[in-house]
Amino acid sequence: MSWPRPAALGLAAALSCALAAPAAEFGRPASPAEVTLWDIDVRPDGKGLPAGSGSVARGTQVFEESCAACHGESGQGGLADRLAGGQGSLASDHPVKTVGSFWPYATTLFDYVRRAMPYPAPQTLSDDDTYAVVAYILNLNGIVPADAILDRTSLTAIRMPNRDGFVPDREFSIIRNARQPPASRP
Amino acid sequence: MRLTFTGRGRARDGGDPSRRRILAGAAGVAVAGPAAADTLADVPPRGPGAPLSSTSERSEYVHLSRIPESTPGRRPVDPSEAINSKAPLDRLVGTITPADLHYERSHAGVPDIDPARHRLLVHGMVKRDLVFTMEDIRAMPATSRVAFLECTGNGWENWKQAPPDVTVQNTHGLVSTNEWTGVPLRFLIDLVGADPGSTWMLAEGGDGSAVARSIPLTDEIIAEGMLAYGQNGEPLRPAHGFPLRLFLPGFEGNLNIKWLRRLKFGDRPFMTRWETARYTQLQANGAARQFQLRQEVNSVITSPSGMMQIRPGFNRLTGLAWSGFGRITRVEVSTDGARTWRDAAIAGPALPKAQARFQADWAWDGSPTKIVSRATDEAGNLQPDRASFIARTGTNALFHYNAQQTWAIDAGGNVRNVLA
């Protein structure tokens, strides 16, 4: 450990005192309802995706109303990130990183749109409209057909073109720590 | 009136006043130089000063500010379109960055958060889902630590070319060092009873884009991470996460989630947009490095540096070195374009994962040359030269640029950014 010794000793002393105190001294239990309200992340296995669905057709409308002003018509040519095209460019001198050329998981697109978009009013799209605009952006990239309707099952099943394009650093590929029981350590 | 730099880069006498103003601007601090016949009789007399005040402002003779900027090559940038704001490394001394000059990277502006209404939710693979107020958090045992924070985009101006008209603030201004104060992450992990099988923790901000990153729960991060509410002895500034942020010494800036609202314990990375589509590094073959989370060993000569002008004779080289692997153990400088190297003096104490100040004397003979620094950290990592760095990474990575910085000096003493 690279902390200076006095700090480490001070911390150890502080922790030993604090651990003796009941947890109730800090914080209050979170109710399941409020956890649900804030628990917005979506994993690649679909965990966190809400009920609901949306079509490419509806997504076209949502995009025009809420997204095109920054991202441009058809997700290109706007001030904000380009959303379509670029496939095959990643090894060139001018890589174009878009949802279609770069993003490894369609679930991440749902997560990001839901948490952060539209930029002036994040977390205002309904779940149905979020599915719809995700379907539209995927269709722009040729990943789902024009008549696609996405829900948590069909979105999770999508395999993105650049799914295998990422190499995690070895140091963080498998996480080990001293809190893990020795028998279960990877 | 004649103007000089503080430190070594001194404006020449007798030049035209407009050039002298530029020189002074580059140094940031303009002081009246000695008159031709310098005598102490010319120093203004003493007298009663300004009334004492509730806060200390900087001297009217000192001009320090960050530069709001955007992606590489876009300069100048209207602040409304800026995505980061760079610290004036060429005008700072020592190793601690004043809080108002600490670099900033924000993804959806700076939220206005009333601490009384701020809440932290901790949930997921824990015994107890808990909600904390700032009052709760400030009542917990606290620790303080001096450490650097660096945007993973620091240095990105030079991936493909070296713009000649930039300062070290433009090239390297996305790193700063503060003393951070807060609750040890380990305390919180024990408090909520995180499942021993939890290996990743999602941290999420209260900003408009709800920036979220998966944090690997390594022993190092558990031991050194903190929930910080203070910087340099005062509450966090809003731009830096008020009232609460995650702080992970040595790890890329965007992991240090500002305006922290939620921690969720899990057993795998959550694969947010920032750890897939954004902060991953394209290699030459088109594959992207992912979870390259640690900031590598780095250094830069901050003076003389880009857009300064020096004159022949004595010059002092000084700069900053830092590494996410621990202490800086050695800094070498070259004044002949990396052909020969000598050790610079490191001003103690060189703290682990904090910027260290180095300096070396140099007599410049007036002929064109190049100056370079390279740092070594306690893990034995040597800062790479540009050619071998690019051979390894290609030029598309965008983030984690830590190649040696070369400044070229022409016969006129003009210092310019070059690739090598």
- Give the closest residue to B384 by CA, choosing from B366, B403, B368: B403
Closest-CA residue in chain A for B294? A171
- C-alpha to C-alpha distance for A61 and A68, rounded to whole angstroms: 10
- Whole-angstrom CA distances from B15 to A81, B11, B224, B411, B415 are 47, 8, 52, 16, 17
> What is the reported pTM?
0.90
What tokens does B249 get? 């010494």
Whether domain A31-164 has CATH 3.40.50.300: no
Structural domain B298-418, CATH architecture: Sandwich (2.60)
A contacts of B200 (beta carbons < 8 Å) = 175
- The pLDDT-based confidence of B14 (bands split at 50, 70, 90) is very low
Q: Decide which of B102 and A21 is more confident.
A: B102
| Residues contacting B2, CB < 8 A, separation 6+ | B11, B13, B20, B32, B33, B34, B35
- Give the up-direction half-sphere exposure of residue A103: CA atoms within 13 A in the CB hemisphere: 28
Q: Decide which of B352 and A20 is more confident.
A: B352
- C-alpha to C-alpha distance for B106 and B211, rounded to whole angstroms: 9
- The pLDDT-based confidence of B78 (bands split at 50, 70, 90) is very high
* Residue spans of beta strands (DSSP E) within B99-174: 104-105, 119-124, 130-133, 143-150
Q: Are B131 and A27 in contact (CB < 8 Å)?
A: yes
Which of A1, A2, A107 would you mutate first to test chain B, the one with the most B CBs within 10 A? Answer: A2
Q: What is the pLDDT of residues B296-314, one digit of tens each?
A: 999 999 999 999 999 999 9
* Residue spans of beta strands (DSSP E) within chain A: 28-29, 53-55, 149-151, 166-168
CB within 8 Å of chain A, chain B residues 132-191: 132-133, 136-137, 139-145, 184, 186-187, 189-191
CB within 8 Å of chain A, chain B residues 276-305: 276-277, 280, 282-294
The residue ranges of every structural domain in chain A are: 31-164
User: Can you say whether residue B41 is alpha, beta or left, with left for phi > 0 and alpha for psi between -120 and 50 degrees?
Assistant: alpha
Give me the phi and psi of B68, to 5 degrees please. -70, 130
Cβ–Cβ under 8 Å, residues A123 and A69: no
Picking from B108, B293, B327, the nearest residue to A119 by CB comes out as B108
Cβ–Cβ under 8 Å, residues B109 and B208: yes
Please report the pLDDT score of residue B7 as a whole number: 38
- Give the closest residue to A172 by CA, choosing from B234, B199, B143, B18: B199
Residue intervals in chain B for CATH 2.60.40.650: 298-418
Please report the pLDDT score of residue B33 as a whole number: 54
Which residue blocks in A67-169 are alpha helix, DSSP H?
68-71, 106-116, 127-140, 152-157
B129 to chain A, any CB pair closer than 8 A? The answer is: yes
- C-alpha to C-alpha distance for B29 and B65, rounded to whole angstroms: 11
- Give the closest residue to B277 by CA, choosing from A89, A114, A173, A99: A99
Q: How many CB atoms lie within 10 A of CB A120?
A: 11
ipTM: 0.90
- What percentage of chain B's residues is helix, strand, coil (to nearest 5)? 20, 30, 50
Residue intervals in chain B for CATH 3.90.420.10: 99-289
Give me the phi and psi of B281, to 5 degrees please. -115, 110
- C-alpha to C-alpha distance for A117 and B109, rounded to whole angstroms: 14
Please report the pLDDT score of residue B34 as a whole number: 54
Structural domain B99-289, CATH architecture: Alpha-Beta Complex (3.90)
- Whole-angstrom CA distances from B163 to B74, B86, B156, B318, B418 are 11, 16, 11, 22, 7
- C-alpha to C-alpha distance for B71 and B81, rounded to whole angstroms: 10
- C-alpha to C-alpha distance for B108 and A135, rounded to whole angstroms: 25
B62 to chain A, any CB pair closer than 8 A? The answer is: no
Give me the phi and psi of B372, to 5 degrees please. -145, 150
> Which of B63-90 are b and which e, b meaning 16 or more Cβ less than 10 Å from the residue's Cβ?
eeebbbbeebeeeebeeeebbbbbbbbb
Q: What is the pLDDT of residues B316-347, one digit of tens each?
A: 999 999 999 999 999 999 999 999 999 999 99
Closest-CA residue in chain B for A124? B208
